[in-house]
Amino acid sequence: MISIKDLTKVFRFDQKEIKAVDHLSLTIEDGDIFGVIGYSGAGKSTFIRLLNRLEDPTSGQVTIQGKNITAMKKNELRIARQDIGMIFQHFNLLWSRTVRENIAFPLEIAGVPAKEREDRVKELIELVGLAGRENAYPSQLSGGQKQRVGIARALANNPKVLLCDEATSALDPETTDSILDLLIDINERLGLTIILITHEMHVIKKICNRVAVMEKGKIVEQGDVLDVFLKPKQPVTKKFVEQVMGDSDGDLSQLLDVYTSGRVVRLHFVGDSANQALISQLSKEFEIEVNILQGKITQTKLGAYGTLVVQINGSDREINNTIQFITEKTTVEVEVLTHA
């Protein structure tokens, strides 16, 4: 488990103080894929660098698997960092070294014998899908291939935690998906904990189990990814959800002006309920007409999530029975937007 308590980082410039991380507390379970999302300047890159002491905190504590990272001396920290791999936005590869030599570099620093080092590098090259590119230099690789080298290098010492600092933001969408698929595979195969920071909600929904939203150095919202998608509480979280779902409220007022008969309701689908043929079922069960006005369903790692805005026409009694049926007999949440 990773325990972060009251973590703070203050930078001082020209007699001014900038609080990049502000009394932040989090708990991350072993084996989780935990996302931290925030806009530029939220403090997320500083936060992740505090976890392995690339930045020293001003105050607070980071404990990883029972070890207080923040209290360690240099020699202790050097050993502890072997359990914490890190991959970067711009790869940070050694341009004068081949793929094989880049991956071997942390093993050389750790003093691993040559034969053991060679075997481990070969294993990692296979794991990240770079077989046949062992002798290529970074300048001969695509962005996705460079990041695969970075991932392999981060895994060299068999870490228990992998930190990902905007690991896909320099990549195109297709390459991003392939790297995220690789991280999911690594998490499942090796059982290591992944902490991933990003400004892209697509990354969170595809790979993460839990997410924390950062703003001005603080965690303003956190929870299971599906819960955050379903009921974002903070304005900044709602903006991130709109990256994936679109701004459904933007056109809603116009719809309500046009569709004035019956009742307009918003149906919130989550998990398996998003795949139910609910509209067809309602039309068969009740003497109503259902018109779909607006909607979108998206897939997260833990299941589907989405909303449908529908107009229900019929007698008051049938409409009330329909809404009661949805509320009591399904896992779909109903929000009535207009009344007859």
Sheet containing strand 33-37, strands side by side: 84-88, 161-165, 193-198, 33-37, 210-215, 218-224
Do 237 and 228 contact (CB within 8 A), yes or no? yes
DSSP 152-183: HHHTTT--SEEEEESTTTTS-HHHHHHHHHHH
Angle 119-31-183 from CA coordinates, rounded to 5°: 60
185 and 298 in a single domain? The answer is: no
Beta partners for 8? Answer: 59
235 and 252 in a single domain? The answer is: no
60 and 160 in a single domain? The answer is: yes
Structure tokens belonging to residue 228: 């955050």
120 and 204 in a single domain? The answer is: yes
168 and 42 in a single domain? The answer is: yes
7 and 39 in a single domain? The answer is: yes
256 and 186 in a single domain? The answer is: no
pTM of the predicted protein model: 0.81
Residue with tokens 């320099």: 170
Domain count for the chain: 2
217 and 310 in a single domain? The answer is: no
Amino acid 113: pLDDT: 94
Amino acid 62: pLDDT: 96
Amino acid 144: pLDDT: 94
Residue ending a domain, choose from 242, 261, 276: 242
Do 248 and 296 contact (CB within 8 A), yes or no? yes
Residue ending a domain, choose from 213, 242, 271: 242
Instruction: Give dist(CA 50, CA 54) in Å, integer.
Output: 6
Instruction: Give dist(CA 143, CA 167) in Å, integer.
Output: 11
pLDDT in tens, 113-131: 999 999 999 999 999 999 9
pLDDT in tens, 274-319: 556 788 888 888 999 988 887 777 777 767 777 888 889 999 999 9
Q: Give the structural domain span for 306.
A: 246-336
Amino acid 29: pLDDT: 95
For residue 77, what is the enclosing H or E element? Answer: helix 74-80
Distances 39 to 45, 164, 173, 179, 310 between C-alpha atoms, Å: 11, 16, 19, 22, 33
pLDDT in tens, 26-39: 999 999 999 999 99
Residue ending a domain, choose from 242, 266, 290: 242
CATH code of 275's domain: 3.30.70.260
For the chain, the distance separating the N- and C-terminal CA atoms, rounded to the nearest angstrom, is 53
Do 187 and 31 contact (CB within 8 A), yes or no? yes
81 and 188 in a single domain? The answer is: yes
Buried b (16+ CB within 10 A) or exposed e, 172-200: eeebbbebbebbbebbeebebbbbbbbbb
CATH code of 68's domain: 3.40.50.300
221 and 312 in a single domain? The answer is: no
Amino acid 296: pLDDT: 76
Beta partners for 68? Answer: 63
In three-state secondary structure terms, 112 is coil
Nearest to 235 by CA among 208, 205, 215: 215
124 and 95 in a single domain? The answer is: yes
pLDDT in tens, 154-165: 999 999 999 999
Instruction: Give dist(CA 315, CA 340) in Å, integer.
Output: 10
Band (108; pLDDT cuts 50, 70, 90): very high
pLDDT in tens, 207-223: 999 999 999 999 999 99
218 and 256 in a single domain? The answer is: no
- Give me the chain's average pLDDT, please: 89
The answer to whether residue 147 scores a pLDDT higher than 80 is yes
